[in-house]
């Protein structure tokens, strides 16, 4: 009978040991999971509360293309010209370019392309008036504010023109563009 108590005692100790081991393993697993959850929560909190201060702004490259676009109010024409990028604009941000050219608007901005736009009150320099002056056909150019300046004195004389052309030239013929100007002058020759 005494042996039975010893077996029962050993059996109880074994059962307690096994239970204790299982509880220990479960507790360790639970602690690891809890630590991982706390770590994840801390990461999320840090990401949400981190302010990014070092945002790299795009800057003008030394190889960027550069263009100037002018809009003329009085004739509603655009004039676009590509130019060499001024050295002063290299490595500037969009805001710095706007500050440097405060009377121009930045229309396109990237590290590879910069286009500035400006609105001008007046006419572009592509407007001409063809008129008879001293029995000879003369060409005048409209200035920005509408004033006329002599542009070209031709060898076309009134005496060799049909009456209808003379009447039109006495009133004045306005044309836009040097191509159109050449074409109209050729018609009188």
The reply to whether 72 and 100 lie within a common domain is yes
The reply to whether 27 and 78 lie within a common domain is no
Measured distance CA(110)–CA(98) in Å, rounded: 13
Number of folded domains that form the chain: 3
The reply to whether 116 and 138 lie within a common domain is no
Q: Report if residue 156 sits inside a domain.
A: yes
Q: What is the pLDDT of residue 30?
A: 62
Q: What is the pLDDT of residue 12?
A: 78
The reply to whether 114 and 93 lie within a common domain is yes
pLDDT band at 68 (very low <50, low <70, confident <90, very high): very high
pLDDT digits (tens, 9 = 90+) for 137-147: 899 998 877 78
Please identify which residue in the block is written with the tokens 């004039």. Answer: 79
Q: Indicate left, alpha or beta for 112 from its phi (over 0: left) and psi (-120 to 50: alpha).
A: alpha
The reply to whether 157 and 172 lie within a common domain is yes
Domain that holds residue 25: 1-54
Q: Report if residue 59 sits inside a domain.
A: no
Question: Is the Cβ–Cβ distance between 98 and 121 less than 8 Å?
Answer: no
Structure tokens at 106: 């930045």
Check residues 52 and 5 and name the one with the higher pLDDT: 5
């Amino acid at each position: 009978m005494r042996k039975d108590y010893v077996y029962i005692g050993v059996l109880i100790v074994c059962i307690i040991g096994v239970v204790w081991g299982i509880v220990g393993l479960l507790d360790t697993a639970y602690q690891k999971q809890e630590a991982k959850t706390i770590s994840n929560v801390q990461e999320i909190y840090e990401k949400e509360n981190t302010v990014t201060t070092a945002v790299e702004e795009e800057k003008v490259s030394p190889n960027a293309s550069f263009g100037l676009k002018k809009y003329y109010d009085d004739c509603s024409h655009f004039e676009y010209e590509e130019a060499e990028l001024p050295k002063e604009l290299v490595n500037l941000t969009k805001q710095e370019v706007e500050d440097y050219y405060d009377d121009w608007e930045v229309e396109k901005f990237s590290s590879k392309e910069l286009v500035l736009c400006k609105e001008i009150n007046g006419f572009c320099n592509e407007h001409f008036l063809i008129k008879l002056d001293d029995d000879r056909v003369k060409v005048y150019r409209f200035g920005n504010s509408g004033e006329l300046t002599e542009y070209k004195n031709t060898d076309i004389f009134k005496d060799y023109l049909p009456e209808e052309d003379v009447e039109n030239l006495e009133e004045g013929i306005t044309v836009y563009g040097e191509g159109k100007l050449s074409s109209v002058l050729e018609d009188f020759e």
